[in-house]
């Protein structure tokens, strides 16, 4: 089998509002997901599907261009089943291009699964679990709104809710307090600062102030590059500290491990450069004695399916994960929606990633204009 063409399409999908407003975190507002769809065509008529996704606005069309101009020329004519060679070729052509590479790489896994007639999780060594327990994120708002939103998610079956902080110390502490009060002692309340803490001391003080509300862990208190401060926070608080924005490629995960900057790694298929690199981070974490979860951009249906396959196959998926990105979107672009029930994600049925595009929804998302 040979790759004959790689097609990219920028797509624009409105996010669902949260308490009537555009969802907002310390990274900014997110009215629309500006992602891209990758279709890798072959001489045997099989097509692999991938998704280009980023939390940041304006990236989808740029990622499509990276694939068109840099990655596609390196892959045309190659055997898509030689995944590792394809990955190395892409990393050579586009160093630091993990987001673009991931969209193509997951399409190659989809192709391999379709060609061999097995799901991607089988190619990854087989399932070690039948479903993935989920966490749901609570964006910025009034603490009372955030608590109500968390309660609704708990009632839907989510066992973990993630409070997004960065609205100022007093509001953040109050949000954690009210969310805990709303969901009760049976649920986990995770806290994600998205790098918004100004100093390690501020992060440590924040944790001291929320300890009465039994936080599960603190995610990425400090800026991505500041592993020294991350390590300082980790050494000073009694709850686990998770690294998210500090980790992209496996080499970043290695640096976090070396610098003892986190207890838990938030692993992304997209930011690491694909399923294969994400699986490598899981292995690094396992050997370092660190826990892992899978994070989201949030992805639409194809990207979320890729995360689910990974999560079903990784033995050390220790924490409830964000592999439900499509639930934050107004549509997932899939012909058959992914299966989420009572706070769990289930494997899509069928070979490869087990998903197909809904032609109408895809065309609609491709026709939409980018937001002003
Ligand atoms: Mg995060």
Ligand 1 centroid from CA 9, angstroms: 27
- Asked if residue 161 and residue 251 are part of one domain, the reply reads yes
Host domain of residue 289: 123-346
Ligand 1 centroid from CA 220, angstroms: 7
- Asked if residue 302 and residue 268 are part of one domain, the reply reads yes
- Asked if residue 146 and residue 211 are part of one domain, the reply reads yes
Q: At how many degrees (to 10) do helices 98-116 and 301-313 cross?
A: 70
- Asked if residue 112 and residue 154 are part of one domain, the reply reads no
- Kindly report, residue by residue over 290-299, the tens digit of the pLDDT: 999 999 999 9
- Asked if residue 259 and residue 213 are part of one domain, the reply reads yes
Ligand 1 centroid from CA 45, angstroms: 39
DSSP 173: H
Ligand 1 centroid from CA 242, angstroms: 9
Query: Going by C-beta distance under 8 Å and a sequence separation of 6 or more, which residues neighbour residue 124?
Result: 275, 279, 309, 310, 313, 314
Rounded-to-integer distance, Cα 139 and Cα 164, Å: 5
Cα torsion 147, 148, 152, 158 to 10°: value is 0
Ligand 1 centroid from CA 116, angstroms: 35
Ligand 1 centroid from CA 297, angstroms: 9
pTM: 0.97
- Kindly report, residue by residue over 176-229, the tens digit of the pLDDT: 999 999 999 999 999 999 999 999 999 999 999 999 999 999 999 999 999 999
370 band by pLDDT with thresholds 50, 70 and 90: confident
- Asked if residue 145 and residue 93 are part of one domain, the reply reads no
Ligand 1 centroid from CA 326, angstroms: 16
- Looking at the DSSP bridge assignments, the partners of residue 218 are 191, 241
- Asked if residue 109 and residue 253 are part of one domain, the reply reads no
Q: Please report where in the chains the tokens 């898509």 appear, as a residue.
A: 80
Ligand 1 centroid from CA 245, angstroms: 7
- Asked if residue 363 and residue 238 are part of one domain, the reply reads no
- Asked if residue 142 and residue 75 are part of one domain, the reply reads no
139 band by pLDDT with thresholds 50, 70 and 90: very high
In a domain, 372, yes or no: no
- Asked if residue 131 and residue 40 are part of one domain, the reply reads no
Ligand 1 centroid from CA 354, angstroms: 27
Taken as a whole, the chain contains a residue count of 372
CA dihedral sign, ordered 14, 137, 128, 255: positive
């Amino acid at each position: 089998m040979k790759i004959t063409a790689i097609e990219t399409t920028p797509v624009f999908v409105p996010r669902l509002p949260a308490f009537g407003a555009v969802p907002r975190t310390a990274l900014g507002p997110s009215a629309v997901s500006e992602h891209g769809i990758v279709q890798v065509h072959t001489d045997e008529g099989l097509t692999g599907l991938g998704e280009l996704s980023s939390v940041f606005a304006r990236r989808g069309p740029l990622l499509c261009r990276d694939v068109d101009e840099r990655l596609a020329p390196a892959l045309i004519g190659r055997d898509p089943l030689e995944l590792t060679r394809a990955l190395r070729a892409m990393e050579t052509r586009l160093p630091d291009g993990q987001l673009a590479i991931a969209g193509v790489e997951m399409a190659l896994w989809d192709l391999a699964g379709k060609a061999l007639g097995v799901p991607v999780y089988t190619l990854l060594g087989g399932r070690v679990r039948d479903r993935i327990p989920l966490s749901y994120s609570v964006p910025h708002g009034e603490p009372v709104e955030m608590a109500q939103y968390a309660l609704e998610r708990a009632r839907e079956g989510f066992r973990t809710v993630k409070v997004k902080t960065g609205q100022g110390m007093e509001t953040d502490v109050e949000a954690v307090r009210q969310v805990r009060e709303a969901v009760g002692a049976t649920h986990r309340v995770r806290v994600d600062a998205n790098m918004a803490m100004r100093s390690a001391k501020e992060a440590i003080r924040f944790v001291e102030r929320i300890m009465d509300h039994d936080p599960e862990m603190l995610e990425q208190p400090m800026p991505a590059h500041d592993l020294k401060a991350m390590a300082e926070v980790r050494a000073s608080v009694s709850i686990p500290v998770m690294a998210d924005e500090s980790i992209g490629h496996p080499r970043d995960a290695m640096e976090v491990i070396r610098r003892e900057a986190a207890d838990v790694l938030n692993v992304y298929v997209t930011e690491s450069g694909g399923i294969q690199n994400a699986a490598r981070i899981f292995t690094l974490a396992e050997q370092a004695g660190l826990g892992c979860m899978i994070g989201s951009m949030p992805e639409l249906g194809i990207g979320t399916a890729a995360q689910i396959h990974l999560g079903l196959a990784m033995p050390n998926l220790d924490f409830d994960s964000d592999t439900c990105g499509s639930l934050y979107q107004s549509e997932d672009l899939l012909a058959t929606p992914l299966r989420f029930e009572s706070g769990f994600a289930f494997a899509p049925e069928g070979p490869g990633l087990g998903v197909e595009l809904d032609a109408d929804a895809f065309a609609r998302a491709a026709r939409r204009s980018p937001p002003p």
